[in-house]
Amino acid sequence: MKKLVIASNNAGKLREFQQMLAPLGIEVVTQSQLGISEAEEPHITFVENALEKARHASRESGLPALADDSGICVDALKGMPGVISARFSGLPRSDERNNQALLEAMKAHDDRRAHYYCVLVLVNWAGDAQPLIAEGEWHGEIAREARGAGGFGYDPYFWLPELGKMSAELTHEEKHAISHRGKAMKVLLEKLKARGIE
C-alpha cells in the first residue's frame, strides 16, 4: 500500500493521520484534494458511519481508503453527543458552538465523566469484504471552563485527571500516545503488520 485516501475533510483529523502514517511511508491524500464530496453519515453507530465513509472515498478514488468516525460520549447524557459530536449544535459545524451546547446540556449534572471514542475503518477497495477495523477509547471528564490552545473539537473542555491537564494542553506527541485516535491507530498498524504491510 503506497497511497491511500483519507475519508475526511476535518483539518484536525487530517493533521493527526498524516503525522501518524508518515513513518510507514504511505502517501496520504485527502478526499477533498481529489474532489470527492463527504459521504452521508446516516447511521446511529460509529462503525457503520466509518464504513460508509471509507467505501464512498474508495469507490470515488479507486484507492484504498481510511475513514474515522469518532466523538465524545458523556455518561450523564446517555452517551450523547456520540455520533453527532461534530454537528451537536447544528450546521454549519462549529467547535465553539458545540462546546457551548455541551456545557449547557451539562448544567444540571454533577457527574462529569466522559470518553472520546474512535473507530477506524480501512478498505483496500470499495467492496472489500474484510475491512480492517480498529477502535480506541480515551477517558476523562467535562470541565466547566476551557484551557489550552491545542487540539480541536471538545479538547479545551476534556479534563484528564491523571495528568492534571486538558486535552488541549497536550503536545501532538503526548496526545497521539494516549488519545482515542492514537490508540485506534496503534491497533490498526498492528493489523496492517499482520497482513504484511509495514
Report domain extents, the chain. 3-194
The answer to whether 82 touches 98, Cβ cutoff 8 Å, is no
- Out of 69, 75, 111, 155, pick the active-site residue: 69
What is d(CA 2, CA 143) in angstroms, rounded to the nearest whole number? 42
Which pLDDT does position 25 carry in this prediction? 83
The answer to whether 162 touches 141, Cβ cutoff 8 Å, is no
The helix/strand/coil state of 147 is coil
Judged against a pLDDT cut of 90, whether residue 11 lies above it is answered with no
* Ramachandran region, residue 131 (left: φ > 0; alpha: ψ -120 to 50; beta: rest): beta
Query: Above pLDDT 70, what percent of the chain?
Result: 99
Q: What is the pLDDT of residues 164-173, one digit of tens each?
A: 999 999 998 8
- The x, y and z cell numbers of residue 142, run together, are 467535562
CA 172 to chain centre: 15
Mean pLDDT score across all residues of the chain:
93
Average pLDDT over residues 161-190: 94
Active site residue 69: yes
Average pLDDT over residues 58-72: 96
Is domain 3-194 classified as CATH 1.20.1250.20?
no
Query: Residue written as cell 451539562?
Result: 106
Query: Above pLDDT 90, what percent of the chain?
Result: 77
User: 78 falls in which pLDDT band (50, 70, 90)?
Assistant: very high
Which pLDDT does position 187 carry in this prediction? 96
Paired residues of 160 in beta bridges? 165
User: 22 falls in which pLDDT band (50, 70, 90)?
Assistant: confident
Which pLDDT does position 198 carry in this prediction? 59
Closest CA to 184 of 111, 118, 123: 118
